[in-house]
Amino acid sequence: MIKRFIVNPFLLYVLSFLIIFLLYQLKWSNSFSILNENLIYFLIATVVISFFFGVWFDKYKVIKYYPKTITPNSFWITMGLMFLYLIEFIYSRHIPLIEVLTKNELDLNLDFGIPVLHPLIITFNSYYIVRLYNSYLSFKKKKYLVYMLICLLPGVLLVSRLFFVAALISIWFITILYIKRIRMRVVALFLVSFLGIGYLFGLMGNHRSLRGSKVALPIATNATNDFLKSDIPKEYYWIYIYSVSSLGNLNLNVENGKPEKLDLKGLLVTQALPDFISKRIIKHFNMFDYKPPLVYQFLNTSTLYSASFGYGGWIGMSFMFIFFISTSILYILTLLLFKEYFAEGLAILLTIVLLNTFGNMYTYSAISLQLVFPIIFGLLARRKLV
């Protein structure tokens, strides 16, 4: 039963928004107001509808682990990726991790990587980590784990929390998909791993932005005295404040009132297209680029829905929910044509659904474009080109 909720994107939507709602009730910070009544009704409606879609999909049992049958030759692709990163380090003339270790902070004003090429490298690297891990599960050859660890290294050198955490989450999902039955010890193991990822996320955040301070963020976001005096590791405050601020920022948008009219063009361009495309369209056509109001400017997570509310109010938010449902169905059905790559494609989709509680991941190219690679490799495999 637990596994069904986790590896089914529609049931995962239910689970993730219920968790973020419960975290909101912890009230470790005094900065967020009571949720708007209409917003609560909207979230309940989407959770109920998504639950029924999840049950319907579960009925046909198409979501399961399909082992790989084609043994990939991953050495040259892994080495090619590392060579491209080497070129980028030379081009940028700095390594973010070295900055953190020497200055105890990262200069966010310094650009890294070769324009256009860097996003492509990051996107493919993120996907390839998942593919290598899937290959290990299918063939039980440790070399794939070695290649996977090598491909994780750039995320550490770049001090890229989203790259690192998203990759670990996808690995987590694909492991759950692979396991036939989740026993209590497995639940305990994944709980420990989740706590580890959460701690690592907070630790990297402290060193990336706050000179290693554990209490700077809680104090800056009006944390309660009860939390500050508690024995809870302060690194976990990052996960809490990111999660809660997402719902808090969405609530702030709703409280500010819906727009006077529906901006359908802006909604479609900015919320349904990857950002590397939408940014160019907005600039070329001088379109309105809505920036959701935030409780804190440095906490810019605001769930899947905030920006869509700015373009179309409740209609805009409903559009995004329908977009989530329809694209998830279409993508899963497409993956069934390429079962060799089903597990890794589904793991990436699940990662997007989970992270949608923080922001619209469909627009974030570094994650959403990963969905394309299982389809591309599937088409190449049919022509025996890989």
The pLDDT tens digits of the residues spanning 10-52 come to 999 999 999 999 999 888 888 888 899 999 999 999 999 999 9
Q: Is pLDDT larger for residue 104 or for residue 245?
A: 245
CA distance 276 to 116: 9
Read off the pTM: 0.88
* Integer-rounded Cα radius of gyration of the chain: 21
* pLDDT value, residue 104: 58
* pLDDT value, residue 126: 92
* pLDDT value, residue 146: 95
List, in order, residues 6 or more apart from 180 with CB less than 8 Å away.
Answer: none
For residue 2, what pLDDT band results from cuts at 50, 70 and 90? confident
CA distance 68 to 140: 11
Mean pLDDT of the chain: 87
Residue 90 has pLDDT above 70, yes or no: yes
Asked if residue 28 belongs to a domain, the reply is yes
Residue 182 has pLDDT above 80, yes or no: no
The stretch 350-371 carries a mean pLDDT of 93
Asked if residue 203 belongs to a domain, the reply is no
* pLDDT value, residue 316: 95
| 266, 287 Cβ separation under 8 angstroms | yes
CA distance 169 to 176: 11
Asked if residue 133 belongs to a domain, the reply is no
Q: Is pLDDT larger for residue 106 or for residue 167?
A: 167
Residue 111 has pLDDT above 90, yes or no: no
Structural domain of 309:
2-67+242-382
Residue 1 has pLDDT above 70, yes or no: no
* pLDDT value, residue 65: 92
The stretch 214-231 carries a mean pLDDT of 84
* pLDDT value, residue 218: 84
* pLDDT value, residue 212: 66
Residue 300 has pLDDT above 90, yes or no: no
Asked if residue 99 belongs to a domain, the reply is no
Residue 99 has pLDDT above 80, yes or no: no
* pLDDT value, residue 254: 93
Pick from 266, 277, 354, 373: nearest CA to 313? 266
Q: What proportion of the chain, given as a percentage, has pLDDT over 90? A: 48
Residue 106 has pLDDT above 70, yes or no: no
User: By mean pLDDT, which of 35-39, 188-192, 255-259 is the weakest?
Assistant: 188-192
Asked if residue 221 belongs to a domain, the reply is no
Asked if residue 10 belongs to a domain, the reply is yes
* pLDDT value, residue 375: 95
The stretch 313-325 carries a mean pLDDT of 96
Q: How many residues does the chain have?
A: 386
Residue 105 has pLDDT above 60, yes or no: no
* pLDDT value, residue 148: 95
Residue 109 has pLDDT above 60, yes or no: no
For residue 319, what pLDDT band results from cuts at 50, 70 and 90? very high
Q: Is pLDDT larger for residue 152 or for residue 105?
A: 152
User: By mean pLDDT, which of 3-12, 186-195, 207-216 is the weakest?
Assistant: 207-216
Which among 43-57, 92-106, 186-200, 238-252 has the top mean pLDDT? 43-57
The one-letter amino acid at 308: S
* pLDDT value, residue 231: 84
> Is residue 275 classed as helix, strand or coil in its secondary structure?
helix
CA distance 92 to 13: 39
CA distance 194 to 203: 14
Tokens of 276: 């590397």
Our count of domains for the chain comes to 1
* pLDDT value, residue 210: 62
Asked if residue 22 belongs to a domain, the reply is yes
| 129, 170 Cβ separation under 8 angstroms | yes
CA distance 380 to 345: 15
* pLDDT value, residue 288: 83
Pick from 252, 371, 285: nearest CA to 9? 371
Residue 108 has pLDDT above 60, yes or no: no
Which among 178-192, 280-294, 299-313 has the top mean pLDDT? 299-313
Asked if residue 284 belongs to a domain, the reply is yes
